Structure 1
Amino acid sequence: MEFAERAPRRRLGVDGPEVPLLALGSWNTWDRMDREDAARLVRLAVDRGVDLFDVAHYNFGPHAENAVTDVLFGQAVDDAGLAREDYLICGKLWLWDYPNSSFAEQMKVSLGRIGTDHADMVVLGDFMERPDLHTVVTDVAELVRAGRFTHWGVNNWSAGDVLFACRFAAAEGLVAPSFAQLKYSIARRSVPEGEPWSNLFEHEGLGLQASDVLEGGILAGRLEPERKIGADPGGIRDKIRAAYPELRRAADRFGATPAQVAIAFTLVHPAVANVLVGVSRAAQFEDNMAAIGLAARHGAELRDAVAGLWLDRDVVDPAASWGTDAPVPR
């Protein structure tokens, strides 16, 4: 399998920044390796053009676990000898306790834990109870003006709420969201490929950042992950495990690994600017980098080969937010 020397870049939404096709995520990543290995991995990634890191303070709502993965990331970039201008940070703002926990205070704590004074972009986390989106967009704009970050996106909002935010921001002359971070994989396609989101990507210029593309490692062959992994909208995780042998057979036909096929699948989507991967070893990183060439060589053919693995079809409503396991309306 041919490895990409450096990751190509795409624009993350019409008004967003240029980012590498792969980005390294932070949840249960930096706390899964030794300090020296973390520094080497960060340096390797930046040297290969993968200079975007998704880093967050996980201590809100269902993520109230007081994780230190963000602190360890800050330590890793220091140990690697990187200057702040050498890499991009995509942070997170949580809505679970908003507005009691203000965005300004969240950014102060989060950036302080990493050891920097600004992020390059942030993702506004998902929510169960809809907040006042007028206030949300206005508060985000205040932080942009304060220089805390430049671009923002959303994590698993409904398409309708994103459209509202885009239109409100435009009407008020505020910075609109430029991208959406959505669960997207060979098995989970209903939301990112559904009509509400397709319209946002095509007509509102929104970019797509694909997350959870390996289903916590299941689509890479680790069928029973020992670490905490993402939510399971639609309750299809057992079906994903059962479908892994079919993915492996498809990968064999392309002379690739299942992880490479899973990542390449998402890269072929025209709205995808980058894919979040949670590597913790240099060998994993190289394996994931090879997915870039695989997508370039076999795009449509590869998607056809795994067409039967769409497992949330008619299970998850593409118009709903991630937290609802609501079936598609009949």
Structure 2
Amino acid sequence: MDYRTLGKSGLKVPVLSFGAGTFGGSGPLFSHWGTTDVAEARRLVDICLEAGVTLFDTADVYSAGASEEVLGEAIKGRREEVLISTKASLPTGDGPNDWGSSRSRLIGAVEKSLKRLGTDHIDIFQLHAFDASTPVEEVVSTLDRLVQDGKLRYIGVSNFSGWQIMKSLAAAEKNGWTRYVANQVYYSLLGRDYEWDLMPLGADQGLGALVWSPLGWGRLTGKISRSKPIPAGSRLHETADFGPPVEDEHLYRVVEALEAVATETEKSVPQVAINWLISRPTVSSVIIGARNEEQLRQNLGSVGWSLSAEQIAKLDAASTVTAPYPHFPYRRQAGFALLDPPLAG
């Protein structure tokens, strides 16, 4: 397993990390992700550690905290071998302070996560969404205090826009507070929006991307193609509305390119899709999920080999879409190539 530095920090993270959203699954969304119990989770953690996957990602909102609880039990006795990433800010109840990133909410959320995880610190703590109702100074100063207290080691964000990140980083810079070094983002061959603003920002400001849903919300598993519509038993029928929409023609075009490259490399479609992500600028780690040992071992096969330049170009061409304004004018003109040549696909 290769390891990379997380953004502008000294923390080394594996290029593949494990998403524990399948742990303790319950509710209309998370039960479709998986219902892994403690015994199964321990086995998956065993396999991960054997392969060098030491980073495990969860969130307080996953199955109402059950994901954190199961992960905490699964790593019991080997806390020093793993890195824990978790998140807070999304609603966890119906009360007025059960959502957001106020000082009260963040301190309470961190304490609850620490208890569920059975640990005294969180290695990477991320805000799960931007809270427009709380001043960024309150948010960032609270996170800084939690870092100073030793409860958080590194901090980051997830699902933020570029201006929201920069406003927060400016407040941290001005006041000498701890800066964000991680940005957990949706990024896949079916969704390359990350490249338009957030990737250049990450390169400039030192934020490493932790990629979620690398298989395009389950569409790049190799089970869907132009001749094979979504299977009757697919969880996409239940969960598609939670994820980003994808036009059928775009999906089929990307899948056809993936299938061609998979044949050339003798790898699976998911392995090729994940390997492509690992080669992208600013990506520190790709979060893989698995409901069972077979899925996990398949996903672990995404590393240890590389796509050729020609194969990457084939995947780039099939997955590229016209960027929205104000990006598309300069991307069409060679004279403006210096703005982001290493970041564009």
Match for 1:301 among 282, 293, 310? Answer: 310
The count of corresponding residues between Structure 1 and Structure 2 is 299
Query: In the alignment, what sits opposite 2:8?
Result: 14
Classify 1:95/1:29 alpha carbon distance in 2 versus 1 (closer, same or farther; 3 Å): closer
Distance 2:159 2:247 in 1: 18
Report SS of the residue matched to 1:24.
Answer: strand
Contact 1:190 1:317 survives alignment (8 Å):
no
Query: In the alignment, what sits opposite 2:191?
Result: 188
Query: In the alignment, what sits opposite 1:325?
Result: none
Residues 223-234 of structure 1 aligned to structure 2 (within 5 Å)? 223=224, 224=230, 225-226=234-235, 228=239, 231-233=242-244
Distance 2:326 2:71 in 1: 35
Distance 2:325 2:312 in 1: 20
Classify 1:129/1:165 alpha carbon distance in 2 versus 1 (closer, same or farther; 3 Å): closer
Matched, 1:56 2:67: no
Gaps of 5+ in 1: 1-6, 60-64, 319-330
Residues 17-96 of structure 1 aligned to structure 2 (within 5 Å)? 17-29=11-23, 31=25, 32=34, 33-58=36-61, 66=64, 68-78=66-76, 82-94=77-89, 96=91
Query: In the alignment, what sits opposite 1:326?
Result: none
Matched, 1:176 2:171: no
Distance 2:9 2:75 in 1: 28
Classify 1:219/1:169 alpha carbon distance in 2 versus 1 (closer, same or farther; 3 Å): same
Match for 2:272 among 261, 281, 290? Answer: 261
Contact 2:190 2:251 survives alignment (8 Å):
no
- For each residue in 1:274-296, what CA deviation from the matched residue of structure 2 results, as whole angstroms up to 9, or x when unmatched? 100112323322322222223xx
Task: Report sequence identity in percent.
Answer: 26
- For each residue in 1:61-102, what CA deviation from the matched residue of structure 2 results, as whole angstroms up to 9, or x when unmatched? xxxx52522222222223xxx421111100112155222861
Query: In the alignment, what sits opposite 2:200?
Result: 199
Classify 1:282/1:107 alpha carbon distance in 2 versus 1 (closer, same or farther; 3 Å): same
Match for 1:111 among 90, 94, 114? Answer: 114
Q: 279-288 or 141-150, which moves further after superposition?
A: 279-288
Cα offset, 1:299, TM superposition:
5.0
- For each residue in 1:227-283, what CA deviation from the matched residue of structure 2 results, as whole angstroms up to 9, or x when unmatched? 6468434x3264565343442233112211011111111111121111001123233
Match for 1:236 among 236, 239, 246? Answer: 246
- The TM-score normalised by the length of structure 1 is 0.81
Residues 115-126 of structure 1 aligned to structure 2 (within 5 Å)? 115-126=118-129
The RMSD of aligned alpha carbons is 2.6
Classify 1:9/1:170 alpha carbon distance in 2 versus 1 (closer, same or farther; 3 Å): same
Contact 1:265 1:299 survives alignment (8 Å):
no
Query: In the alignment, what sits opposite 1:292?
Result: 303
**Relative contact order (alpha carbons < 8 A, sep ≥ 6): 1 or 2 greater?**
1
Gaps of 5+ in 2: 26-33, 92-98, 225-229, 328-345
